[in-house]
Amino acid sequence: MRSSVGWLSRRLAAILQQELTPAAVRLELWDGTSPYAGPRPPVGTLAVEDARTLRAVLVNPHLQFGECYMHGTLRVRGELEPVLEAISRIALTPTWRERISSHFAPGNGVQRARRNVHHHYDLGNDFYSWWLDEQLVYTCAYFERPDVSLERAQVAKMDLVCRKLRLQPGESVVEAGCGWGALALHMAREYGVYVRAFNLSHEQVAYARARAAREGLTGQVEFIEDDYRNVEGEYDVFVSIGMLEHVGLRHYPSLAAVMRRVLRRAQGRGLLHFIGRDVPRPLNAWIRRRIFPGGYAPTLAEVATRVIAPARMSILDVENLRLHYARTLRHWSRRFAATADRVQARYGEEFRRAWELYLTGSEATFAAGALQLFQVVFAPVEATPPYWTRAEIYGGAQADEWFAATR
Amino acid sequence: MRSSVGWLSRRLAAILQQELTPAAVRLELWDGTSPYAGPRPPVGTLAVEDARTLRAVLVNPHLQFGECYMHGTLRVRGELEPVLEAISRIALTPTWRERISSHFAPGNGVQRARRNVHHHYDLGNDFYSWWLDEQLVYTCAYFERPDVSLERAQVAKMDLVCRKLRLQPGESVVEAGCGWGALALHMAREYGVYVRAFNLSHEQVAYARARAAREGLTGQVEFIEDDYRNVEGEYDVFVSIGMLEHVGLRHYPSLAAVMRRVLRRAQGRGLLHFIGRDVPRPLNAWIRRRIFPGGYAPTLAEVATRVIAPARMSILDVENLRLHYARTLRHWSRRFAATADRVQARYGEEFRRAWELYLTGSEATFAAGALQLFQVVFAPVEATPPYWTRAEIYGGAQADEWFAATR
C-alpha cells in the first residue's frame, strides 16, 4: 500500500522537479503523483520511494542519485540512457561545489594507487569476460563505421594507435597501464616491436602473461606488475591507454618525469589516450566513491601544461573520439544487460544496479559532451615527428619515400 | 684597415662565444680573430663589426641580433638558415626576461590592431606578389609530399581546411582575417558556401574584392574591412587562418565572445590555424619591433582555456604542421632572394636584410621546434562533430551514409 506524501515533501519535490524540467524528466512520488508540468512529453520518469530519498537527491544529487539508484530507492521508468543523457545535457557547467572539491582530491601515492586499481580491476577476469570483447579491451574502441562490431572496433583502435605511432620492427615500446595486455600483444605480433608493459593489477598481469605464453610472444613482450613511476630503461615509444584517468592531477609531474626520463630524444614519440573534459571538473562524486576511487578526467590544457610541456615534448596530434566511447559503452551496456542475472547471482543486486548505472551513465555523459576522449600524440621537441602527413595513417603512403630517407 | 680589439672586448667576446659554442657557431671579431675552440667544425660564423655591436648583442641578444643584422654590423658567413637553426636549438627554453616580459605586452585594441596590421600588410600588394604564390596565401602551406610546389601546397592547405570543416553547399561561413581572400574564394567556388570575410588591411580587402568580381563570386563572398570584434550575424562555420597571432592574449576573451555569439550551436563548427608554442613565451623581441608589432604565439593550453572553453566549444582535432611551415618559409626565402635587388631598390638595404632575417629565421625556428603551427577544429559542446572518423578527410568516405542519416 502506498504511503501518503506530506506537505514538506511536496515542496521539496516541486523544487527538484523544477531542476529536472529543462531535461523533460518527470519526477514521481511514492503516492504515484508527479509535480511534472513540462511542455514536452517526458523522456522518462524518476520514481522516488520515500521522503528520505527525495531529500538526499535534492541536497547532494551528484552523489545521491547513484547511491539511491544502487539501493533501489530511486528507480527510472522508461529507457535509462535517454534520461541520463537529458540530465547530463542540462548539467554541462560545473557547480561551485565541484569547482572547489576538485582542489581537495586525495593524492594517489603508490600504496593508494594499488588499492584503487585493486578495487576496480581485480573483480575477477571472468566478470569482465562476460561483457567485454573477446580480447578484454576495457577502453574506448574505434569504429571505422558506426555499425561495425565491438570486436572489430577494438582491433581497429589498437591498430590506429600503432599507426599514429608509426611503429617500426625492432623498436622498443613501454606501455604504462596495460589492462589484460591486448595492445602490447598486438604491437608485438603485428609490428614486430619489443614491449615492456606495466600494470598494478595482479589479476590482469597474470592473465596477460598466460596469453603471451600461449601466443609464443614471451620473447617480445614482458608484463611487469609495478607502478608507472618505477619504469626504467630507454624506449623509442611511450604509450598509455586509459591510465591517465587514474593518475590524478597531483601526480602529473611524476608522470612527466617518467616520460622525460625513458623516452629517447632523437626519434622518440608517445601517445596518451584518456577520458577528458572541456573545462576542469571532478569526476562525478558517486563514480569516485563506487567505481573509480582517485579518478580524474583532465582537460587537454591540464595535460598539455602539466604532463607534455614539463616532459619537454611537443603536441603533434589530438583526436577527440567521444562519440566512439559512447558507442563502445552502448555495446558494453547491452552485453552487461544480457548477463545481468549472472552478475547479480555472484555480486548481489546492488552491485548489478551500480554497474548498470555506471555503464549507461557513462554512455550518456559521452553522448551529451560532458566527457571527451582524447588521443594525444607527442614527441620530444628535438625529434622528427613520426609522419609527414596524416594521410599515411589513413591508408595513403605518399610520403613513405621521404620518410625512408630521413630516418 | 682593421681596427684593433681591446682587452674588454676580448673578454666579452669570450663570454658570447661560450654561449654560442653549444650551437657550434663561431664568433669572429673585427680584427679577424675568433675565440671559437669548439670540438666540431662550426656551422657558420657571426662576424661582428665593432665593440658596440658586440656589447649590444651580448646584453640583449633577442632584440639586438636582429637590429645589428639589419644595420649590417653583424654579418653571417656561411649559409644563414643552419646558423639560425643551430642557435634556435640551444635556446628552446625561455629566459627569465622573456617569461616576465610576456606579462607586460601592450594590448591590441581596435585602433592599435589597425596600426599593427597596416605596418605589415599594407606594404603594397605587389611587394608580396614578388615572392608569395600566385594566390598570395601568406600562411603555412600543406605539402601532401615534401616535394610538391608551393602553389599546389597552398591549394592543398585551403582544401584541407575545407575538408576538416566538412563544408556543405549553401552553408554560411565567417572568416576572421582573410588576407588577400584566397581561402574565402576557394570555399565559395569549390564548396558552394556563402562567406563573409573580415580584414583590417585596406589594400588586402581592395585586392580580394577585385578578385571576387573577376571570378564572378561577388554574390557568394563579401569582403568587409573591419575588426573581428565587429562580426555580426549567425553562421554554420567560423574559420580563422593566421589571425590569432595578431590578437594578443589579453583579447582572447573578446574573440571567444565573438565565436560564441556568431556560431550556430546545433551543428556549428570552426577552425583556428595559428603559430603556437610548447611553452608560454613572447615572440622574439626584434620580430615584435620590426615585423609583427603586437604579435603573440600562444600555447595550445592558452587557446584551449582562454578561447575555446569560454566560447563553450569542445576541441575535436589538433594537428601540428610545424615542418610544413618550415618548408613554406624556405620557398618564400628562396623566392625573396631571387627578387632581393628589386626589394632593395624600392625599400632600401635595411628593409631587405630585415626581411631576409625574418623569413630565414622563421624557417629556422619552426625547423628547430621553437615554434609550432596548430590547426584546431572545434564545435559547440552540444553539436554533432562534423565527421565520424578522420578517414573521411583523407579520401575515405566510409561513414557518409551515416552522416547523411544524422544531419
Give the DSSP letter string of A259-304.
HHHHB-TTT-EEEEEEEEBSS--PPPHHIIIII-TT----BHHHHI
CB contact under 8 A, B372 and A308: no
Q: Is A305 helix (H, G, I), strand (E, B) or coil?
A: helix
CB contact under 8 A, A399 and B317: no
From residue A224, alpha-carbon distances to A199, A232, A326 in Å are 6, 11, 31
- The per-residue pLDDT for B94 is 82
In whole angstroms, give the CA distance from residue B101 to residue B60.
Answer: 13
**Average pLDDT score over residue span B203-224:** 97
Say which range, A124-138, B96-110, B164-178, has the weakest mean pLDDT: B96-110
In whole angstroms, give the CA distance from residue A193 to residue A181.
Answer: 14
Nearest CA among B273, B346, B304 for reference residue A305: B304
**Neighboring chain A residues of B319 at a CB cutoff of 8 Å:** 316-317, 390
Task: Map B137-164 to HEC letters.
Answer: CCCCCCCCCCCCCHHHHHHHHHHHHHHH
Q: Is A166 helix (H, G, I), strand (E, B) or coil?
A: coil
- The per-residue pLDDT for B401 is 47
Q: Establish if B98 touches chain A: CB-CB under 8 angstroms.
A: no
**Average pLDDT score over residue span A140-164:** 97
The residue to which cell 610544413 is assigned = B324
Say which range, A80-89, A396-405, B30-39, B130-139, has the weakest mean pLDDT: A396-405
Expressed in percent and rounded to 5, the helix, strand and coil fractions of chain A are 50, 15, 35
From residue B151, alpha-carbon distances to A399, B178, B308, B364 in Å are 19, 18, 32, 22
In A72-201, alpha helices (H): 80-89, 96-101, 110-121, 125-129, 150-165, 182-191
CB contact under 8 A, B314 and A394: no
Q: Which of A302, A316, A399 sits opposite B145 (nearest CB)?
A: A399
pLDDT over 90 at B185, yes or no: yes
In whole angstroms, give the CA distance from residue B37 to residue A302.
Answer: 44
**Average pLDDT score over residue span B78-97:** 90
Say which range, A122-131, A170-179, A364-373, B57-66, has the weakest mean pLDDT: A122-131
Q: Which residues, 6+ apart, have CB-to-CB distance to A336 below 8 Å?
A: A130, A131, A343, A355, A356, A359
Closest chain B residue to the Cα of A320, Cα to Cα: B316
Rg of chain A on CA atoms, in Å: 23
Q: Establish if A379 touches chain B: CB-CB under 8 angstroms.
A: no
**In this structure, are residues A331 and A150 in contact, taking their beta carbons and an 8 Å threshold?**
yes
CB atoms within 10 A of CB A344: 15
Q: Establish if B316 touches chain A: CB-CB under 8 angstroms.
A: yes
pLDDT over 70 at A396, yes or no: no
Q: Establish if B172 touches chain A: CB-CB under 8 angstroms.
A: no
pLDDT digits (tens, 9 = 90+) for B269-314: 999 999 999 999 999 999 999 998 889 999 999 999 999 999 999 9
pLDDT over 70 at B398, yes or no: no
**Neighboring chain B residues of A381 at a CB cutoff of 8 Å:** 92, 278, 369
pLDDT classification of A103: cutoffs 50, 70, 90: low
**Average pLDDT score over residue span A15-35:** 96
pLDDT digits (tens, 9 = 90+) for B113-138: 788 777 777 788 899 999 999 999 99
- What ipTM does this complex have? 0.94
- Superfamily per CATH, domain B110-326+365-406: Vaccinia Virus protein VP39 (3.40.50.150)
**In this structure, are residues B154 and B132 in contact, taking their beta carbons and an 8 Å threshold?**
no
Q: Which residues, 6+ apart, have CB-to-CB distance to A347 below 8 Å?
A: A123, A127
- The per-residue pLDDT for B2 is 65
CA atoms within 13 A on the CB side of A148: 18
Q: Establish if A299 touches chain B: CB-CB under 8 angstroms.
A: yes
| Preferred mutation among B148, B274, B378, B394 to probe A, highest tally of A CBs within 10 A | B394
- The per-residue pLDDT for B403 is 41
What percentage of chain B has pLDDT greater than the value 70?
95
- The per-residue pLDDT for A2 is 65
Q: Establish if B51 touches chain A: CB-CB under 8 angstroms.
A: no
pLDDT over 60 at A139, yes or no: yes
pLDDT over 60 at A400, yes or no: no
- The per-residue pLDDT for B138 is 96
- The per-residue pLDDT for A397 is 42
Q: Establish if B266 touches chain A: CB-CB under 8 angstroms.
A: no
CB contact under 8 A, A390 and B390: yes
Q: Establish if B144 touches chain A: CB-CB under 8 angstroms.
A: yes
pLDDT classification of B39: cutoffs 50, 70, 90: confident
Helices (H) and strands (E) in chain A, counts: 18, 10
- The per-residue pLDDT for B402 is 42
- The per-residue pLDDT for B406 is 45
Nearest CA among B242, B272, B277 for reference residue B366: B277
In whole angstroms, give the CA distance from residue B281 to residue A393.
Answer: 32
For the domain bounded by A111-406, which CATH number is listed? 3.40.50.150
CB contact under 8 A, A320 and B320: no
CB atoms within 10 A of CB B15: 11
In whole angstroms, give the CA distance from residue A366 to residue A325.
Answer: 7
- The per-residue pLDDT for B376 is 98
CB proximity under 8 Å: A 145-164 to B: 145-147
In whole angstroms, give the CA distance from residue A169 to residue B402.
Answer: 36
Who has greater pLDDT, B135 or B96? B135
What average pLDDT is seen over chain A?
92
**In this structure, are residues B376 and B318 in contact, taking their beta carbons and an 8 Å threshold?**
yes
Taking one residue from A and the other from B, the number of pairs with CB-CB distance under 8 angstroms is 134
**In this structure, are residues A283 and A297 in contact, taking their beta carbons and an 8 Å threshold?**
yes
- The per-residue pLDDT for A405 is 47
Closest chain B residue to the Cα of A277, Cα to Cα: B314
pLDDT over 80 at B221, yes or no: yes
pLDDT over 80 at A175, yes or no: yes
pLDDT digits (tens, 9 = 90+) for A226-280: 998 999 999 999 999 999 999 999 999 999 999 999 999 988 999 999 999 999 9
**Average pLDDT score over residue span A119-137:** 90
Say which range, A163-177, A386-400, B59-73, has the weakest mean pLDDT: A386-400
From residue A390, alpha-carbon distances to A168, B271, B359, B403 in Å are 17, 17, 26, 22
**Biggest distance spanned by C-alpha atoms of chain B:** 81
Who has greater pLDDT, B75 or A4? B75
Q: Establish if B403 touches chain A: CB-CB under 8 angstroms.
A: no
pTM of this structure = 0.94
What percentage of chain A has pLDDT greater than the value 90?
82
Q: Which residues, 6+ apart, have CB-to-CB distance to B208 below 8 Å?
A: B178, B179, B180, B181, B184, B185, B197, B199, B223
